Chain A
C-alpha cells in the first residue's frame, strides 16, 4: 500500500535522523507523547514552532554579527535561546552546535562566531528539511489512513 510504503519511508527517515544524531531521545518522547497521549499533530506543531523560531533567531544573530561592533552578550543570549529550543524539540545536532557557538561567543571573536553561525545554519536547514519531509510523509499517510498517526 502506498500508506505502508509511505510509512516505511517515514520510519527510515526517522531512524536515519536518529542515527545521524540529528534528533535524540527528546524527539522520541515527543513522539510518544503524541502517540500515547492521543494528541495528534503534537509533533507537527512543535516541530513547526521550532523551525519558525530557530529561523528567526538565526536571522537575528546574523544581523547582530554584521554590526560594526558586535554585542556578544546579545548574540550569546540568542544562541542560548536556540539551544533551549533545540533541546526541547530534540534537535540534538543543532543543540551541540549551539554549545560550541556559545564558546566562541565567550571568546568574543566575530569571525569565530560567523563560522559557528554558518555551521548552525547548515545544521538547522538540514534538520528542517528532514522535518518537512517527515511532516509531509505523515500527512500523506494520514491521507491514506486517518486513524493511523
Chain B
C-alpha cells in the first residue's frame, strides 16, 4: 500500500492516510484562506497556510518532504497562480490544486494544461476537499513507475563524459534521450533522487524520472544563467555549477546543459564578428592620418563599418553592418559619416561602437572633410541615406557600401542601406550615386543616382545577388575591381570585382576609397564617387554588397570601401591614387573622366592606379588596414562597387566592371559634377 510506503518516510500520522496529509494552502484573500484552512482541518489534514506565493515556494523548497499537496488560488498579486503551479510541479513534483472563483472553461483548461491535478471553484465545499487526497496517491503511483523506468534507462545509458562536461554537449532533452551520456543521467538522476526524495524513499526521484516539462528560458531565467556563466567564467562554466548558481529549482542540469551549448555557439558567433570589427576599427585607427584626408572619414566609416561588418559578417551580408557604418563615416563628411555610421551602427549594435570610432575619426578628418565635405556632403547624404539603410539593415549594403561606400561616400550611406537591403541600393542609386555600392547589388546603382543612376541604379539590384554571394566582401573586390572598372581596376580590382568573391582584397575597395579619400577628400564624390561610375558602381555595389565584400569588408571593406572612396576622391582630386591599389586605376580613370573632384569617387578609381598609389599611400596604408582590401582600394573601391555588382554576378566580370567603370566615367563627368558630393549624398539622403 502506498501510504504504507510513505509511512516509512513520513510521520506516523500517515498511517491513516489521507488523514494527516500535509497540505499547503496559498491564497491572498484572507477570508478564503481562513475558510479553506478550517475546512481542511475539518478533513483532518494537516494545514499550513500563507497568503504569498513566494513564501509558499520558499517553504516548499526548504523541505520538499514537508508537504503532500498544494492548493493555490489562481489570482494572486505577487505571482500568478499558474506560474506557481508550474514551479511547484517542476521543482517539487507535487500535486497542485487550483482554486478560483472563476470557473470559466478556458481558465480551468489553463489550469489543467499548466499541470494542475484539479481545479476547484470557490466557495469550496468540504465534500470536495475530502477527496483531494486521491491526487496525492495517484501521483505517487505514477511517479514510482516512472522512476523505475528511469533508473533503468539511466543505468543502461552508455556512460559518457561526466555530466558536467557532457552537459555542455548534450542537449537537454527528456531524460530518455539516448544520446545522453548515461553518466549525466546518472548524476542527474542521483541528484534528483536526493532532492526529490520527499515522497518516495526508494523511488527514484520523482522529478527526475518523469520527463520534465520543457523549460522556457525566460528573460529572467536567461539573465540568471548568464550571470552564473559569467561568474564562473565561460570556460569553466559547467552545467552543474551553473545550475547551482542559478538556484532555480525546477531547472535540471540537462536544461542548463543544452542552453549552455546554445549560448556558447552564440558567443562564438559574436566574437567572430567582434574580432572583425576590431580589426576594422584597428584598421581605421591606423588610418587616422588619412582621416585628415577627409577621405578618412570614409575610412572611419569603414572602421565602424568593419567592425560592423565584422559583426555583420555574421550576417550573410556580413558587410552590412560595418559597411553601413562605414559608409556613413566615409561618405559623409566626418560628421556626417559619423552620423551615418552611427546610423549604421544603430542598425547594428556593434556598429555603435564603431560609429563612435568612426565618428571620432570622422571628426578628425573633419578638416579634411572640408574637401571631402563635398564628397562628404554626399556622404552626409549618405548618412542620411544611411539611416535609412541602416535601419534597413543595410548590413549588406554597408559592406558593399564600405567597399563602394567610399566611392559613394554619400552613397555609402546608401550603400549601407543597400547592403542591408537590396532596396536600399536602389535608393542609393536614386539618391546618389552612392547607393550604388552599398547594396550588394543595389547600391551601386544608387550611386549612380547622380550619375550612376543610370548605370548604377540598376546595379544595385545586380549587386545584390552578387554581393550576397560574395561574402567576402565583394567590396573589396569591388574596390579592386571597382577601380579596374575603369580599366584600371584590372589590376587588383579586376580580380576583385570580378570575383567579388575574390575577397582577395575586398578591402581594396575600401582602400582605394580611402586612398581616394585621403588624396582628396575633396573629391567628395569620393565617398560614393567611386561607385559612381554608375556602372562601376553598380558593380561595386555588388562589390560592396557582394557578400564577399561583406566579410572582408567587415574589416577592411569598411576601410577599403572607404578607401576606395577616398581613393576615388583622392584619386580624383589628387590622384590620390596611391590608390588603393588596383583601384586607382579606376580612380584615375575617374579622375580623368571627371575632372571634378566630385567625381573623385570615380575619379579616384581611375586614378587608382596612379593615384591610388599616391593617394592611397596614406589612405591606403591605412586602408589596408583591413588588410588586403584597402590597398588599391581607392580606385578599386569605386570601381569596386560597380565591380561588385558585376563581380558578384560574374566571378570576374571584370570586363563588365570595366565597362561599367567606363560608363561610369562617362557619367562621371556628369556624375562628378553631381556627385560632387552633394549629389551623391543627396541621393543617399533620398534614401
Interface residue stretch chosen among B29-37, B282-290, B468-476: B29-37
- Please report the total number of B residues contacting A with Cβ < 8 Å: 23
> When chains A and B are docked, how far (Å) is the Cα of A30 from the Cα of B32?
12
B101-160 at interface with A (beta carbon < 8 Å): 101-102, 122-126
Q: Is the CB of B39 closer than 8 A to any CB of chain A?
A: yes
> When chains A and B are docked, how far (Å) is the Cα of A89 from the Cα of B124?
10
* A81 in complex: contacting residue of B35, B38, B75, B124, CB < 8 Å: B75
Q: Which residues in B have their C-beta under 8 angstroms from that of A37?
A: 38, 41-42
State whether B101 touches A33 (Cβ < 8 A): no
* A84 in complex: contacting residue of B32, B34, B77, CB < 8 Å: B32
State whether A85 touches B34 (Cβ < 8 A): no
Q: Which secondary structure dominates where chain A touches chain B?
A: helix
Q: Which residues in A have their C-beta under 8 angstroms from that of B122?
A: 84, 87-88
* B35 in complex: contacting residue of A46, A53, A77, A80, CB < 8 Å: A46
State whether A87 touches B123 (Cβ < 8 A): yes
Q: Which residues in A have their C-beta under 8 angstroms from that of B125?
A: 29
State whether B35 touches A30 (Cβ < 8 A): yes
Q: Is the CB of B100 closer than 8 A to any CB of chain A?
A: yes
Q: Is the CB of B73 closer than 8 A to any CB of chain A?
A: yes
Contacts A26-B123, A33-B126 given; does A85 touch B38 at CB 8 Å:
no
Q: Which residues in B have their C-beta under 8 angstroms from that of A59?
A: none
Q: Which residues in B have their C-beta under 8 angstroms from that of A90?
A: 123
Q: Which residues in B have their C-beta under 8 angstroms from that of A42?
A: 38
Q: Which residues in A have their C-beta under 8 angstroms from that of B123?
A: 26, 29, 87-90
Min CB distance, B41 to chain A, in Å? 8
A81-121 at interface with B (beta carbon < 8 Å): 81, 83-85, 87-90
Q: Which residues in A have their C-beta under 8 angstroms from that of B102?
A: 80
Q: Which residues in A have their C-beta under 8 angstroms from that of B35?
A: 30, 46, 88-89
State whether B31 touches A39 (Cβ < 8 A): no
Q: Which residues in A have their C-beta under 8 angstroms from that of B41?
A: 37
Contacts A45-B34, A49-B30, A77-B75 given; does A84 touch B126 at CB 8 Å:
no
Min CB distance, B679 to chain A, in Å? 51
Min CB distance, B218 to chain A, in Å? 22
Q: Which residues in A have their C-beta under 8 angstroms from that of B28?
A: 81
Q: Which chain B residue shows the least CB distance to A99?
A: B101
State whether A46 touches B31 (Cβ < 8 A): yes
Min CB distance, A47 to chain B, in Å? 9
Q: Is the CB of A131 closer than 8 A to any CB of chain B?
A: no
Q: Is the CB of A18 closer than 8 A to any CB of chain B?
A: no
* Most chain B CB inside 10 Å of its own CB: which residue of A42, A50, A88, A89: A88
* Most chain A CB inside 10 Å of its own CB: which residue of B32, B100, B124: B32
How many A-B contacts are there with CB distance less than 8 Å?
A: 62
Interface magnitude class on chain A: 20 to 34
> When chains A and B are docked, how far (Å) is the Cα of A90 from the Cα of B125?
11
State whether B29 touches A85 (Cβ < 8 A): yes
- Convert B603-642 into 0s and 1s, putting 1 for each residue whose CB lies closer than 8 angstroms to a CB of A: 0000000000000000000000000000000000000000
Q: Which residues in B have their C-beta under 8 angstroms from that of A26?
A: 123
Q: Which chain A residue shows the least CB distance to B36?
A: A88
State whether A85 touches B32 (Cβ < 8 A): yes
Q: Which residues in B have their C-beta under 8 angstroms from that of A80?
A: 75, 101-102
State whether A81 touches B39 (Cβ < 8 A): no
Contacts A33-B39, A37-B42 given; does A49 touch B75 at CB 8 Å:
no
State whether B126 touches A81 (Cβ < 8 A): no
- Convert B21-49 into 0s and 1s, putting 1 for each residue whose CB lies closer than 8 angstroms to a CB of A: 00000001111101110110110000000
> When chains A and B are docked, how far (Å) is the Cα of A149 from the Cα of B428?
90
> When chains A and B are docked, how far (Å) is the Cα of A42 from the Cα of B42?
12
State whether B42 touches A83 (Cβ < 8 A): no
> When chains A and B are docked, how far (Å) is the Cα of A26 from the Cα of B38?
13
Contacts A26-B123, A80-B101 given; does A85 touch B75 at CB 8 Å:
no
> When chains A and B are docked, how far (Å) is the Cα of A29 from the Cα of B35?
10
State whether B29 touches A81 (Cβ < 8 A): yes
Contacts A81-B75, A87-B101 given; does A33 touch B38 at CB 8 Å:
yes
Q: Which residues in A have their C-beta under 8 angstroms from that of B124?
A: 88
Min CB distance, A116 to chain B, in Å? 17
Min CB distance, A102 to chain B, in Å? 10
Q: Which residues in A have their C-beta under 8 angstroms from that of B29?
A: 53, 81, 84-85, 88
Q: Which residues in B have their C-beta under 8 angstroms from that of A39?
A: 38
Q: Which chain A residue shows the least CB distance to B42?
A: A37
Min CB distance, A74 to chain B, in Å? 10
- Convert A13-52 into 0s and 1s, putting 1 for each residue whose CB lies closer than 8 angstroms to a CB of B: 0000000000000100110010001010010011001100
Q: Which chain B residue shows the least CB distance to A30?
A: B35
Contacts A29-B126, A80-B102, A87-B123 given; does A49 touch B38 at CB 8 Å:
no
Q: Which residues in B have their C-beta under 8 angstroms from that of A85?
A: 29, 31-32
> When chains A and B are docked, how far (Å) is the Cα of A26 from the Cα of B32?
12
Q: Which chain B residue shows the least CB distance to A86?
A: B31
State whether B101 touches A84 (Cβ < 8 A): yes
Min CB distance, B205 to chain A, in Å? 36
Q: Which chain A residue shows the least CB distance to B125?
A: A29
> When chains A and B are docked, how far (Å) is the Cα of A87 from the Cα of B120?
13
> When chains A and B are docked, how far (Å) is the Cα of A26 from the Cα of B33?
14
> When chains A and B are docked, how far (Å) is the Cα of A44 from the Cα of B52?
24
Q: Which residues in A have their C-beta under 8 angstroms from that of B36?
A: 88
> When chains A and B are docked, how far (Å) is the Cα of A83 from the Cα of B31?
11
Q: Which residues in B have their C-beta under 8 angstroms from that of A83?
A: 101
> When chains A and B are docked, how far (Å) is the Cα of A80 from the Cα of B29?
11
Q: Which chain B residue shows the least CB distance to A80?
A: B75
State whether A53 touches B31 (Cβ < 8 A): yes
Q: Which chain B residue shows the least CB distance to A45?
A: B34
State whether B38 touches A89 (Cβ < 8 A): no
Min CB distance, B107 to chain A, in Å? 11
- Convert B1-36 into 0s and 1s, putting 1 for each residue whose CB lies closer than 8 angstroms to a CB of A: 000000000000000000000000000111110111
State whether A84 touches B38 (Cβ < 8 A): no
> When chains A and B are docked, how far (Å) is the Cα of A85 from the Cα of B100?
11
* A88 in complex: contacting residue of B32, B42, B75, CB < 8 Å: B32
Q: Which residues in A have their C-beta under 8 angstroms from that of B101?
A: 80, 83-84, 87
> When chains A and B are docked, how far (Å) is the Cα of A80 from the Cα of B38?
22
Q: Which residues in A have their C-beta under 8 angstroms from that of B39?
A: 33
Q: Which residues in A have their C-beta under 8 angstroms from that of B31?
A: 46, 49-50, 53, 84-85, 88-89
Min CB distance, B296 to chain A, in Å? 53
Min CB distance, B284 to chain A, in Å? 50
Query: Which residue numbers of A lie inside 8 Å of B, CB to CB?
Result: 26, 29-30, 33, 37, 39, 42, 45-46, 49-50, 53, 77, 80-81, 83-85, 87-90
16 contacts between A and B (CB under 8 A): A26-B123, A33-B38, A33-B126, A37-B42, A46-B34, A46-B38, A49-B31, A50-B31, A53-B29, A53-B30, A80-B101, A81-B29, A84-B32, A85-B32, A88-B32, A88-B35
10 more CB-based (< 8 A) A-B contacts, given A37-B42, A85-B31: A26-B123, A33-B39, A33-B126, A39-B38, A53-B29, A81-B29, A84-B75, A84-B101, A85-B32, A89-B31
Q: List the 7 shortest-distance A-B pairs measured between CB atoms, nearest first.
A: A88-B32, A26-B123, A85-B31, A84-B101, A50-B31, A87-B123, A88-B35
